[in-house]
Amino acid sequence: MKTLRREAFGIVTLVVLGIVILGPMATVTLWAFAERWRYPSLVPTVWGLSYWSETFGRADILSALPVSLALSLTVTALAAIICLPAAYAFARLKFRGRQFLLLSFLATNAFPRFGLYVSIAVVFFRLNLVGTFAGVVLIQLVNTLLTMIWIPTSAFGNVDRALEEAALDVGASPFRVFVQITLPMVFPALAAALLLTFISTFYEAQGALLIGVPNIRTMPVIMYTLTNNAVVVQYGAVISLALWLPSLLLLSLAQRFLRGNTVAQGFGV
């Protein structure tokens, strides 16, 4: 009886969430394949693909894609160089204040995002970093620190020390142990952290909007314009779908390596 009541709740929740969560994305998907869609039709009145070539023929979109990719790659690489050695230190080395310093990265959660970006923008304006590639890289780096430290720290911490010691005992050099034993064990989590960082940077819009204009325009920044002055709905719909589907795929891959708990721990739970 109790199970029945519980699962009845589950079914109602499933239906409501299905409509509310999937409805908007389904609508965008349909718009991307519509030549014409007039109210009150539930599906496009005329189907077609012509807006795909038209969208990707637009000069602003063609120039934004390489900018977005270059930015995300640079930020991810920089974040890895800065954070991965630190994650190793946090997980494996003993030093005073380790726990406190690790927690201090969580304190960055305590800043309201846009206010922080505005105060960074004022500093960057004086340093002539506004409208530059470097300026956008730096503001996007802000968001990557937590992911790049927290997930790898927990991965390095979970490595079975006995295996490493056994290898050392039979005469392997510490470097060889690191490359052949430690690295393969943490690789999935490191890959997931890199992927998450890349994706979230690729979609980062607010910092890029504030610092990048007018010279650096990323794909998400163009989405602001396409949403606000949408005479043709299809442009925005095609870009949304093209940007969103790869992330869905990549994230479902990454999800295998990330347990919900690791993510929750990143907020201090």
Partner 1 sequence: MQSTRSQPQSFIGYLLIAPPLIVMLVLIFLPAGQAVVRTFFIEGEVGTTPTLANYQIFFGNRVSVNNLLFTIQTTLITVSALFVVCFPIALYLRFSTSRIAGAVQVLSLFPLVVPGVILAFALIRFIGPRGTLQTLLDLIGLTGYVSPYLKPSGIVIGLIWDHIPFTVLVLTAGLRQVDDALVESARDVGANDWQVFRSILLPQIQRPALIVFCLNIIGIFGAFTIPYLLGPAQPQMLGVMMLQTYTDFLDKTQAETQAVLSFLICAVVGILYVRTIARKAGDR
Q: Contacts with partner 1 in 151-190 (CB under 8 A)?
A: none
Q: Which residue, 118 or 179, has its beta carbon nearer to partner 1? A: 118
Q: Which residue, 78 or 185, has its beta carbon nearer to partner 1? A: 78
Q: Which residue, 18 or 48, has its beta carbon nearer to partner 1? A: 18
From the list 45-53, 93-101, 171-179, 184-192, the region that binds partner 1 by CB under 8 A is 93-101
Q: Which distant-in-sequence residues (6+ apart) come within 8 Å of 74 by Cβ?
A: 133, 137
Q: Which residue, 70 or 142, has its beta carbon nearer to partner 1? A: 142
Q: Please identify which residue in 4, 57, 59, 96 interacts with partner 1, judged by CB under 8 A.
A: 96
* Binding to partner 1, residues 210-269 (CB under 8 A): 210, 213, 220, 223-224, 226-228, 230, 233, 236-237, 240, 243-244, 247-248, 251, 260-261, 263-264, 267-269
* Binding to partner 1, residues 98-137 (CB under 8 A): 98-101, 103-116, 118-123, 125
* Binding to partner 1, residues 46-75 (CB under 8 A): none
Is there binding between residue 6 and partner 1 (CB under 8 A)? yes
Binding-site size for partner 1 (CB under 8 A) equals 96
